[in-house]
Amino acid sequence: MKDPIARILADFPADFFKGLVEQMDAAFAKALLLTRKHYDEPERANMLGQARHACCEEAFRAAAQDAGVAAIAPHTHPAGGRYSLVSSKGVHLIRGNVQAHCGPPRPTRFRSAWAELNAWLNPIQLDLLKTVPMPSSEQLCGVIVVTAHRRNSDPSIPAFVGLGIPRSDLSEWVLLEPVHKLLARYHDLETKARTMPEAPVEVKDRAIPRLKKTSDRDPKD
């Protein structure tokens, strides 16, 4: 099985994930400022969640655009809303709901459709009576997970920003890593590339052996 994290490290620049953390911090601060300015309790608490959703969607696309990665906001199908999609070389990232427990995202229609790309990560169920076709591993779906602190904690910054690879049915995470761990992986790859010994240079021997000419004369002459 191919490593999905290695695929993402190869297809996305580290600057995307660096910018993602900064953008999500700014999104949470912006959402808090807006709701405190325009709403009082009891409406403020409900509106904070909606403001975070909107600000995080905007921040997600901004992080991608700043890193030179394609970001769009297509309509759901059937039409009913819009969502953010960031893509690079067959890897497609969407964003999950803000959840304190970091569980898999709610299986909306558009999330379910994208998660189906990950069928190749499911355990293979062998059948002795027929050939089981292998799903294509050409594409991959990842989910940017941003969670809020629980009550009585700092509401101005996220509790967690990470990347999740969901099962094709969104039942669980294949893996879930915080962004700081992903950035450490990028650093390890850069360090390895710098310290890797250079291949020895082969110097071809261009010398052409020449035979010493001997005289045809008899030395006694």
Instruction: Measure Cα distances from 70 to 12, 24, 88 in Å.
Output: 11, 18, 7
Please give the residue range of the domain that contains residue 18. Answer: 4-122+135-190
Reported as a single tens digit per residue, the pLDDT across 22-63 is 999 999 999 999 999 999 988 898 899 999 999 999 999 999
Identify which of 1, 4, 54 has the alpha carbon closest to the alpha carbon of residue 173.
4
Residue 176 lies in a domain: yes
Residue 77, pLDDT above cutoff 60 = yes
Q: How far is CA 128 from the centre of its chain?
A: 36
Residue 128 lies in a domain: no
Reported as a single tens digit per residue, the pLDDT across 158-180 is 999 999 999 999 999 999 999 99
Residue 211 lies in a domain: no
Long-range contacts of 45-50, Cβ-Cβ distance < 8 Å, separation of 24 or more: 48/155, 49/98, 49/148
Residue 13 lies in a domain: yes
The residue type at 149: H
Q: Enter the pTM of the model.
A: 0.81
The residue type at 97: N
Residue 219 lies in a domain: no
Residue 76, pLDDT above cutoff 70 = yes
Q: How many domains does the chain have?
A: 1
DSSP state of 75: B
Kindly state the tokens that stand for 149: 């602190």
Region for 97 from its dihedrals, namely left if φ exceeds 0, alpha if ψ lies in -120 to 50, beta otherwise? beta
Reported as a single tens digit per residue, the pLDDT across 101-115 is 788 888 889 999 999
- Quickly list H helices, 67-202: 109-115, 179-195
The residue type at 185: R
Query: Can you give the length of the chain in residues?
Result: 221
Residue 156 lies in a domain: yes
Distance between CA atoms of residues 94 and 163, nearest Å: 10
What's the whole-number average pLDDT of the chain?
86
Q: Distance between the two ends of the chain, CA-based, in angstroms?
A: 84
Distance between CA atoms of residues 64 and 12, nearest Å: 9
Q: 214, exposed or middle or buried, with CB in 10 Å at 0-12, 13-18, 19+?
A: exposed
The residue type at 37: K
Residue 129 CB neighbours (<10 A): 4
Residue 213 lies in a domain: no
